[in-house]
Amino acid sequence: MTVSSTFTKPGQPISKVCQDQVAVWRTIAPQFPHPKKWSWFILCDDNAWKLYLQHSGQVLPVSTIYSSTDIDAGTTFLRGTTLLHPDLPEAAPDHVIAHELAHIMLHSRDEAVVEAQTRKWLERQKHAVGSLVPFNLPKPSGAN
């Protein structure tokens, strides 16, 4: 887990807000299937998020993109503000994290397939709170 904030100088401890965002991720991510090796980045403030979006060439309004996964590079970037202050139901932290994990675990860029898996996991999580229910993943697209 790497965090970045435009308000934190290199070498300085991360802010309480960044710590809280990391805590949310650490609480939610283990509830869903996840890879052993993956690089996660939380961009703690919207200025850092805007810089990332500009650098990555994404042009949609900042408020409509909550995360971004690069399957080939093995990286996921999360808009930290969304982890603490979601502005839509689709931006709830469990939804955003599960959605990116579905991209990763399915090795899929197909938003419809990924969102369908995300909704299955969230529904299953809702009904299985407190129990360990194994997840059955469909084969990644292109797998035999």
Domain count, the chain: 1
Low-confidence spans in the chain with pLDDT less than 70:
59-63, 128-144
Within a domain: 85: yes
Query: From its phi and psi, is residue 3 left (phi > 0), alpha (psi between -120 and 50) or beta?
Result: beta
CATH number of the domain encompassing residue 32? 3.30.2010
Beta strands in 8-139 (DSSP E): 39-43, 67-70, 75-79
Within a domain: 137: no
Model pLDDT, residue 136? 45
pLDDT tens sequence across 67-87: 999 999 999 999 999 999 998
**Phi, psi of 125, rounded to the nearest 5 degrees:** -60, -40
Within a domain: 143: no
Model pLDDT, residue 103? 97
Question: Average per-residue pLDDT in the chain?
Answer: 84
Parent domain of 54: 2-127
Model pLDDT, residue 134? 43
Within a domain: 136: no
Within a domain: 103: yes
Whole-structure pTM value: 0.82
Model pLDDT, residue 130? 52
Model pLDDT, residue 133? 41
